[in-house]
């Protein structure tokens, strides 16, 4: 998945071996940093690989979207929310990941056809390195107040 | 500033001494982690202490708000943007800070009177530990699509 590879290549995703990082125990027992778990999460979503996606989640994962006040509790419910709640030929590309200890934040570009949008997602991992809390934001474009038009350019 | 103190107290702000962290050289020459620089940034904003605020910024800082496509270049312009562009009795309280190396992300609650809103801000520091890039998001509430009403609760 190009977004994840790109982020990993710039060193923004993951931080394996960094002191203080905690993450999921991999096949060989090594610790996987929170940033890498999040890169894997988006790669699995992009691939619609719900088995891989589910393996990254804690049984008691809680998803919250503060803008809509939606909340989903538990791995099975959250898998259904993703697999059934977002039909369509969408794609996600990781713009950046910042991780610290058992927390990580991703900025992604979500695109479908000609439209695209930023998605911002805060993740917390449990002691086993599985995602236990997700707080999700989807900021929409808006017009700035006229009162500060002289203070900022536009791009 | 209570928000910054709260975040520092939970260990989510800053990560002084963590390997791989880079930040601003403080008075005694110690390295200040990116998360602490961001906590100081919000404390200075809350206090309207624009001298302290400006001291955290690189001369060539660039601010971007992808939702409005506003861009402000340079310390002096960015100080004016903040000091003049946001009148009113607003307050900011840090909800969390995640930092890695010379990057940090903050989630704040911005409030004015009875209204409040989340603000999400990505920061990059330069080699001197000063803030050189700010990417700012203000997600607004919205109604979720009806198609996924059966897949999520509301809070």
The pLDDT-based confidence of B48 (bands split at 50, 70, 90) is very high
Other Cβ atoms less than 10 A from the Cβ of B50: the count is 14
Answer whether residue B130 shows pLDDT above 70.
yes
Q: Decide if A15 is inside a domain.
A: no
Contact A47, A40 (CB under 8 A): no
Give the model's pLDDT for residue B102. 96
Q: Decide if B152 is inside a domain.
A: no
Q: Is A22 an 8 Å CB contact of chain B? A: no
Cβ-based contacts of B66 with chain A (< 8 Å): 118, 139
Q: What six digits make up the tokens of A102?
A: 């058992």
Higher per-residue confidence, B48 vs B147: B48
Give the model's pLDDT for residue A23. 62
pLDDT cut 90: percent of chain B above it: 75
Q: What six digits make up the tokens of B51?
A: 């001298």
Reported as half-sphere exposure (CB side, CA atoms, 13 A), residue A116 has a value of 13
Q: Decide if B101 is inside a domain.
A: yes
- Considering only alpha carbons, which residue of chain B is nearest residue A77? B151
Secondary structure (3-state) at B39: helix
In B16-143, where do the E strands start and end?
23-25, 31-33, 57-65, 70-73, 90-100, 103-112, 115-125, 131-137
Give the model's pLDDT for residue A143. 94
Q: Decide if A6 is inside a domain.
A: no
- The residue range of the domain holding A56 is 20-140
Give the model's pLDDT for residue A49. 97
- Mutation target to probe the A interface, by most A beta carbons within 10 A, among B39, B122, B152 is B152
Contact A53, A82 (CB under 8 A): yes
* Touching B: A residues 68-127, CB under 8 Å: 68-73, 77, 80-81, 84-86, 96, 98-101, 103-105, 107, 118, 120, 122
- Mutation target to probe the B interface, by most B beta carbons within 10 A, among A151, A153, A154, A155 is A151
Higher per-residue confidence, B24 vs B110: B110
Give the model's pLDDT for residue A144. 92
Instruction: Please list the pLDDT of chain A residue by residue as tens digits (155 residues).
Output: 344 444 433 334 333 333 344 566 655 555 679 999 999 999 999 999 999 999 999 999 999 999 999 999 999 999 999 999 998 999 999 999 999 999 999 999 999 999 999 999 999 999 999 999 999 999 999 999 888 999 999 99
* Touching A: B residues 27-66, CB under 8 Å: 35, 63-66
The pLDDT-based confidence of B20 (bands split at 50, 70, 90) is very low
Give the model's pLDDT for residue B32. 75
- Considering only alpha carbons, which residue of chain A is nearest residue B67? A141
Lowest-confidence range among A24-28, A140-144, B43-47, B79-83? A24-28
Domain count, chain A: 1
Q: Decide if B110 is inside a domain.
A: yes
Q: Decide if A68 is inside a domain.
A: yes
Answer whether residue B26 shows pLDDT above 90.
no
Q: Decide if B15 is inside a domain.
A: no
Mean pLDDT of all residues in B57-63: 98
Answer whether residue B97 shows pLDDT above 90.
yes
Give the model's pLDDT for residue B145. 87
What is the rounded CA–CA span in Å between residue A134 and residue A132?
A: 7
Only one residue has tokens 């920061």, namely B123
Looking at every residue in chain B, the average pLDDT score rounds to: 86
State the ipTM, two decimals.
0.83
Residue B128 maps to which CATH number? 3.10.450.50
Answer whether residue B12 shows pLDDT above 90.
no
Give the model's pLDDT for residue B31. 60
């Amino acid at each position: 998945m190009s977004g994840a590879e790109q982020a990993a290549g710039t060193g923004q995703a993951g931080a394996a071996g960094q002191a203080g990082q905690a993450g999921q125990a991999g096949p060989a027992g090594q610790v996987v940093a929170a940033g890498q778990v999040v890169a894997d999460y988006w790669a699995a979503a992009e691939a619609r690989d719900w088995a891989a996606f589910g393996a990254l989640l804690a049984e008691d994962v809680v998803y919250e979207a503060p803008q809509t006040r939606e909340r989903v509790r538990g791995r099975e419910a959250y898998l259904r929310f993703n697999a059934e709640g977002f039909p369509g030929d969408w794609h996600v590309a990781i713009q950046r990941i910042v991780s610290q200890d058992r927390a990580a934040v991703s900025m992604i570009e979500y695109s479908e056809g000609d439209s695209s949008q930023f998605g911002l997602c805060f993740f917390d991992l449990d002691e086993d390195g599985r995602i236990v809390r997700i707080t999700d934001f989807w900021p929409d474009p808006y017009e700035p107040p006229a009162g500060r038009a002289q203070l900022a350019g536009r791009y």
